[in-house]
Structure 1
């Protein structure tokens, strides 16, 4: 296992700006390989998918390559990979598809830990169907979402449980396999928001127990779009509204209009970049999934070391409250400051250190309110594959200055 952060940083033209980027949870910087892949498809021969001309073949190859790459990333089936404009759009789409069969008396479980994109679509779908929404609460003192907080709400009327694999606000990673087991025993489907999780942990959707798993490539070095993964046989049971001449094949029946071929190529390139984070995997002897396993292990070790240093230093700073407290969490830290507005600290870091660490609730509105932070939230620091010690030092120096 190896991790050469200087090698990885050389792939990112944006880092030449001199800014230290801690906004990864909102979207990572983009490596040159991804930009080149997007440009190559967009400016080369390109037309609608087909098998006759080169332009048709290139479009077909972009779609096929995307499904294979994402299947490798989540350890799923290429026939179960659905592309969308964003994860939010995909959740809204599937909330409409699935809620068609809901009736009064049916129940849906959502959590206060989740990003609103895995809360509001289900709440609104339940309201339309006359179904009951049950709220699973997390512990604001520990940041943990106990398994019992979810499983205690299940009944034989539960149709769906929506839960995050990792909180984008405080990093908490719930025990999804245990939640999935209980949900399935109750006859419910499990819809997992994996947007923040996938940037730090290699997904295995079968091991997690996810019936549906969403993620956003721009959170893990790719272009702006969304992806949903599910079992093809489950997708076959869902019939969306679609145009009459549009294919009814899975997964294409869920993808409306012409696909963004250039973005699909960019996603494939991003997965390949992730698979090469450990330079020992670049000999081509291993499968892409095996290279991803090794590279994520190296990434995890790198981020864990930086996160430990960050936690140690934050503990020495006065007037700082750290809200990321769960035993198992991503290297994402939400903090607030006694007597200081988080947005002011964000602004000072930017102006004096060229450090970007945004403040807000980051659409985890229920979580921010449950923590007692209202709609304002706090300042969030997120690590990424290109974060290095010098970035961390600048962040810490800026925080010391702001709090002096």
Structure 2
């Protein structure tokens, strides 16, 4: 059966307002079942976790169900899923725990393709620990992150390799599995930023070889909540700072304070929503349904991306930032000598939402020499976008050009 985008769009109440959303890399719109789950949980008797009474048991069940849902989404183990308020907060939390195991003279490897949330925490803590930072560079001509460079960057003193599963500036999807294999052979851990990749491609943490994989639910139709998945045995080796009476068990000891139970209910609903976006083979479990949904999502979004990319390439005055064929549906560009913020504002006046600036891809735009002049304009697709919307964006840009 074809991917029914009209039926899917009907599940997103915000789309009825009529804006054209090409700002999805900054956060998708929320699916109706997610909003309902959050609201229903806030209306119900849900107390802090306790086994003594039903409202307390409900919150514990919500937390457990959220871990299972995220495990299905990522191909992880529920006990290995650590929950938190954002990918940035969780990465800092993991970085502090790992930095406690580093010694002067150790090394880490970060990349200039990454969002700063997977760069700055490592760089800052490396400086405190006397650890050397080595940089993986992206190819300026292709926009890709070459694997070969990791053979010389990773060595016996490397403790961590941090890289993105998809660059949020140009969509480039590096060969994470190949880099992770190099890191593992040297005895190093791999921390993978999956925030930009998870909404578009079926995720299998084990196949990627990621020791840690972080994702944010608000990028895939959910609430503002994040999670890091890792092998429970790896979490057991780490001792984070925490309150004395808070749990010692994994994964709870990495989660600070009381969980947002209503948002966790939203995460569960978001995963279920994603699993139901395409007709599934009868008898599949949720993990299998997610794989089939994402196969259709990827096929649909790839066609939209081709239409958008080819249309932008044909417009006079539009300069596309380089991106490889292996990518997520994201395009960055500049319109002649117009400041990107001005382009975004003019499109915004027409009800077309795009991002402008460096989108926290700080090192990427510094390396290109574009950050001081405003970065670029970013159009990022999601499975509720349509061909008609892509054509409307292209028409608007043609008129602005």
TM-score for the superposition, normalised by structure 2: 0.98
| C-alpha deviation, 1:2, in angstroms | 3.4
Q: Hey, what does 2:352 align to over in structure 1?
A: 355
| C-alpha deviation, 1:41, in angstroms | 1.0
| C-alpha deviation, 1:52, in angstroms | 3.3
Q: Hey, what does 1:170 align to over in structure 2?
A: 170
Residue segments in structure 1 that go unaligned for 5+ positions in a row: none
Tell me: CA distance 1:214–1:269, structure 2 relative to 1, closer, same or farther (3 Å): same
Q: Hey, what does 1:289 align to over in structure 2?
A: 287
Does 2:51 match 1:42? no
Q: Hey, what does 2:17 align to over in structure 1?
A: 17
Q: Secondary structure at the match of 1:221?
A: coil
Q: Secondary structure at the match of 1:197?
A: coil
| C-alpha deviation, 1:282, in angstroms | 8.4
Residues 304-331 of structure 1 deviation map (CA, whole Å, 9 limit, x = unaligned): 1111111221121011111142120001
- Whether the aligned pair in 2 keeps the contact of 1:80 and 1:250 (CA below 8 Å) is yes
Question: Runs ≥4 in structure 1, deviation > 2 angstroms?
Answer: 50-54
Tell me: CA distance 1:14–1:241, structure 2 relative to 1, closer, same or farther (3 Å): same
| C-alpha deviation, 1:150, in angstroms | 2.4
Q: Decide which moves more: 361-370 or 306-315.
A: 306-315
Does 2:365 match 1:368? yes
Q: Secondary structure at the match of 2:308?
A: helix
| C-alpha deviation, 1:281, in angstroms | 2.2
Residue segments in structure 2 that go unaligned for 5+ positions in a row: none
| C-alpha deviation, 1:346, in angstroms | 1.0
Q: Secondary structure at the match of 1:133?
A: strand
Q: How many residues align?
A: 400
- Whether the aligned pair in 2 keeps the contact of 1:324 and 1:332 (CA below 8 Å) is no
Measured in 2, the distance between the counterparts of 1:48 and 1:314 equals 51
Q: Hey, what does 1:270 align to over in structure 2?
A: 270
- Whether the aligned pair in 2 keeps the contact of 1:22 and 1:356 (CA below 8 Å) is yes
Q: Decide which moves more: 207-216 or 342-351.
A: 342-351
Measured in 2, the distance between the counterparts of 1:324 and 1:45 equals 52
**How do residues 324-339 of structure 1 correspond to structure 2 at under 5 angstroms?**
324-339=322-337
Residues 254-308 of structure 1 deviation map (CA, whole Å, 9 limit, x = unaligned): 0011111111110111111110110x1286x210010001000110111011111
Q: CA RMSD in A?
A: 1.1
Residues 189-228 of structure 1 deviation map (CA, whole Å, 9 limit, x = unaligned): 0000000010111110000000000010000000001110
Measured in 2, the distance between the counterparts of 1:369 and 1:326 equals 20
| C-alpha deviation, 1:141, in angstroms | 1.2
Q: Secondary structure at the match of 1:110?
A: strand
Residues 23-54 of structure 1 deviation map (CA, whole Å, 9 limit, x = unaligned): 10000000110000011111101101123322
Q: Decide which moves more: 180-189 or 306-315.
A: 306-315
**How do residues 5-404 of structure 1 correspond to structure 2 at under 5 angstroms?**
5-278=5-278, 280-281=279-280, 285-351=283-349, 353-375=350-372, 376-403=374-401
Measured in 2, the distance between the counterparts of 1:293 and 1:339 equals 43
Measured in 2, the distance between the counterparts of 1:326 and 1:381 equals 16
- Whether the aligned pair in 2 keeps the contact of 1:41 and 1:58 (CA below 8 Å) is no
Residues 339-385 of structure 1 deviation map (CA, whole Å, 9 limit, x = unaligned): 2222111111111x211012110000100111221242100000011
Q: Secondary structure at the match of 2:314?
A: coil
Q: Secondary structure at the match of 2:195?
A: coil
Measured in 2, the distance between the counterparts of 1:172 and 1:264 equals 30
| C-alpha deviation, 1:250, in angstroms | 0.5
Measured in 1, the distance between the counterparts of 2:311 and 2:2 equals 26
Residues 229-275 of structure 1 deviation map (CA, whole Å, 9 limit, x = unaligned): 00001101111111111111100010011111111110111111110
- Whether the aligned pair in 2 keeps the contact of 1:276 and 1:295 (CA below 8 Å) is yes
Measured in 1, the distance between the counterparts of 2:268 and 2:140 equals 38
Tell me: CA distance 1:251–1:309, structure 2 relative to 1, closer, same or farther (3 Å): same
Residues 102-128 of structure 1 deviation map (CA, whole Å, 9 limit, x = unaligned): 111100100000000000000011000
